[in-house]
A and B are shown apart, each in its own frame.
Chain A
Amino acid sequence: MSTHPMSARAEAQADDLGFGFSAMACECEVRIAGLGRRQAEPLAREAIAEVQRIESKFSRYRDASVVSRINAAAGSGKPVEVDVETADLLDFAAQLHASSGGLFDITSGMLRQAWDFKAGRQPADGQLAQLLPRVGWQRLRWQRRGPGQVGRIELPMAGMELDFGGFGKEYAADRAATLLQSRGVRHGMVNLGGDIRLIGPRPDGRPWVLGVQHPRHERALIARIDLADGALATSGDYERFFEQDGVRYCHILDPRDGRPVSHWQSVSVVAPACLAAGALTTIAMLLQRDALPFLQSQNVGYLAVDEQGGIHRHELWQQGESEAAST
């Protein structure tokens, strides 16, 4: 988990309830404050069900998911029709691809086949060269008549794959939080493995205190931020990586050469929606030295830790930040 809501320890009130669960290969929590358990529990179940709905619909590890259906049809010459929600996310993916100069690419996930992060092995000779021709949003065919319409997608080559991992979790956090808001919840948060979307401030009106994990010390925080609404997401080179000859190889791969990015240990972004915050952290990691002007152009709060451990932050983050905790 890259971001910890710290106030869980500070306050263990009867009307501040956490509902833990596992989804999308990480530890998750729906937190509802200001309501009694009898009211909060069915609401939390509803929010968790929404996260699970999104996971089973978009996970590429579920055979019945939309993404698996699209991937299974790769190279078959037959386009796959997708519903409005999937089409909205594909449009969003197209926009992320265009705005990042092609770096954010939901077809690039299959490059990880060449990297064995558990065993700490670099790709064999020629392995990347073999995979790269099947990577590239510009290679697939995506058609949609307009907003609110269904769409048709076709992966023209066998072995091409889509992966919604770059924003599926963040989208789920937003959807679950918005659902709780529409049910009248005014205080709480949805935390999916450190990607956090707030539902509102604490019941007394004070902001939540969120901590960002130190990218080199698993048990330490590098910064804290006070936040009453909006979302916080972090990407880092510490989530999956191996080191060889003093070089760190992380799981965030540049779709142009299939090799891990460097330059940032981690990037955290504060934005009104978790979907935006998560996508921007990934794009920032991929942009490497060009990340900060890009984040500034999106006018979001950020905290970026460079290769030497130096901290770069947006003024918004400084306003909201409490003193950094070292333990």
Chain B
Amino acid sequence: MQLNAPLGTLVLAAMALPGVVRADIAPEQGLVGLRFLNYQDSQPGWKRVTVNTPSFLLVAPIGSEWGVEASASFDHVSGATPRYHSNVSGASTMDDERKAGDLKVTRYFQRASLSLGGAYSTEHDYLSRAFSLAGTWSSDDNNTTWNAGFGHAGDKIDPTGGGYDGNVADERKRTNDFIVGVTQAVTGDDLVQANLTHSRSTGYLNDPYKALDARPSERRQTALLLRWNHHFTGDGSTLRSSWRAYNDSWQVRASTLQLEWVKPVGGGVSLTPLLRYYTQSAASFYADPVYDTTLGEPYPVGWNANAFNSLDQRLSAFGAFTLGLKVQWAVDELWTVDLKGEAYQQRGEWRAGGEGSKGLEPFKARMLQVGISRKF
């Protein structure tokens, strides 16, 4: 029985009594899906990186109390990224393959769930292993759900030819992250969620292929994500809005504002346009592309070999817009096909709340994804 309007207070009161209804129900149906993703980024006059990723997804219930989710993907990455700033001539080329897989097992209880997950990914110069533990608890009336989780990742970095400097080998990076959150059904049509995440990474955090890249060996990141989903009873559409505030110990402060509107248009088809705006300040040790007249490129003015330093465009101050559209077609009760496209552009002058970094070429990316899934 699906009703959009909120159930009456007496119905909720009855459902809140222990053992009357099951709150956290394991996925009743399994799902297998295949996806193919194509990503390409570019700067004026230059195609940078192309990524092709086929992936496989499986969600399977085991009895009514257990569920398993697994995915595997295979990336083929080719192209080049700049050695410093957005410089085209000093690019490092790559042609790499990445294999990744993860597995999550969830145990469902009366009003709670507990998940244990593991992930593994490997490319020729990088290995990552991670595990996570997460739980949810729902209130008696199911209107409130709390969640908390912990994750650990251990990475091994062994760049080709020792990286830009030729002396980087067998480096380690460790990350611990924590999440707490709450989801509240405010009305039958409004869901709000708050999630707070904190992570701490230590070890080798440089980009080994970038020139003069020397970053602190610790990064602490904190982010607050607020979400509000509103369902319109009239046309059955849903507006999903979110705001994310982020800062880290490298003094990067960022905000993301996102709007997504899921609009059913009949015949099992729904359209989901998306608009995202992202803005960040530069890391404290990011240096603009203003080069020392004596040392020449890529040495920035005031360069100090003993200080932290990065010429990575990703650590500059910028703003970015993403426009996207997803078309999803539920062919029948079992089969679903979807097609998704996103276009992204970032520029220094689009930064909000301060000056953007100067002297960088605009950066563009586009993503196309096709997927097909079947329930079983």
Contact = CB atoms under 8 A, between A and B. Distances in A.
A171 interface: yes
A275 B1 contact: no
Interface string A262-302: 00000000111101100110010000000000000111110
A96 interface: yes
B22 A300 contact: no
Contacts of A227: 1
B140 interface: yes
Nearest to B65: A182
B266 interface: no
A107 B106 CA distance: 45
Interface in A64-98: 85, 88-89, 92, 95-96
Contacts of B25: 181
Contacts of B305: none
A88 B140 CA distance: 11
Nearest to A185: B64
A316 B3 contact: yes
B19 A179 contact: yes
B275 to A, nearest CB: 34
B19 A174 contact: yes
Interface stretch (B10-18, B318-326, B358-366): B10-18
Nearest to B140: A147
Contact of B1 (A181, A230, A283): A230
B13 A181 contact: no
Nearest to A227: B1
Interface string B316-343: 0000000000000000010000000000
A229 interface: yes
Contact of A92 (B7, B8, B13, B21): B13
Contact of B20 (A174, A184, A316): A174
Interface in A199-228: 200, 205, 227-228
A178 B23 CA distance: 10
B167 interface: no
B7 A181 contact: no
Given A95-B10, A182-B22, A275-B17, A299 B1 contact: no
A88 B17 contact: yes
Max chain A CB contacts within 10 Å: which of B8, B9, B28? Answer: B8
A174 B21 CA distance: 7
Contacts of B3: 299, 316
A57 to B, nearest CB: 13
A85 B18 CA distance: 8
A60 interface: no
A186 B18 CA distance: 20
A63 B17 CA distance: 25
A219 B6 CA distance: 36
Contacts of A175: 19-20
A276 B110 CA distance: 19
Given A175-B20, A179-B19, A280 B64 contact: no
Contacts of A271: 7, 11, 14
A273 B17 CA distance: 10
Contacts of A127: none
Contact of B65 (A95, A147, A184, A230): A184
A184 B108 CA distance: 12
Given A147-B140, A273-B14, A280-B10, A299 B22 contact: no
Contact of A272 (B9, B15, B17, B18): B15
Given A272-B1, A299-B3, A178 B8 contact: no
A118 interface: no
**Size class of the B contact interface (CB-based, 8 Å):** 20 to 34
Contacts of A99: 9-10
Contacts of B14: 92, 174, 271, 273, 275-276, 279
B64 A92 contact: no
Contact of B11 (A85, A89, A171, A272): A272
B86 to A, nearest CB: 55
A187 to B, nearest CB: 11
A297 B19 contact: no
Contacts of A300: 7-8, 11
A184 B65 CA distance: 7
A275 B20 contact: yes
B65 A297 contact: no
Nearest to A100: B10
A38 interface: no
A326 B151 CA distance: 62
B63 interface: yes
B64 A186 contact: yes
A3 B11 CA distance: 20
Contacts of B307: none
Given A99-B10, A182-B64, A229 B18 contact: no
A182 B22 CA distance: 8
A273 B10 contact: no
A280 B8 CA distance: 10
A115 to B, nearest CB: 27
Given A175-B20, A186-B28, A316-B3, A276 B64 contact: no
Contacts of A96: 10
B5 interface: yes
Given A174-B20, A229-B1, A272-B15, 16 more contacts: A88-B17, A88-B18, A99-B10, A147-B140, A174-B17, A182-B22, A182-B65, A183-B64, A271-B7, A273-B14, A273-B15, A276-B11, A298-B11, A299-B3, A300-B8, A300-B11
Interface of A: 85, 88-89, 92, 95-96, 99, 147, 171, 174-175, 178-179, 181-186, 200, 205, 227-230, 270-273, 275-276, 279-280, 283, 297-301, 316
6 contacts: A174-B19, A175-B19, A181-B64, A272-B1, A272-B21, A298-B11
Pairs of residues from A and B, 8 with the lowest C-beta to C-beta distance, nearest first: A298-B8, A276-B14, A275-B14, A174-B20, A276-B11, A184-B63, A230-B1, A184-B64
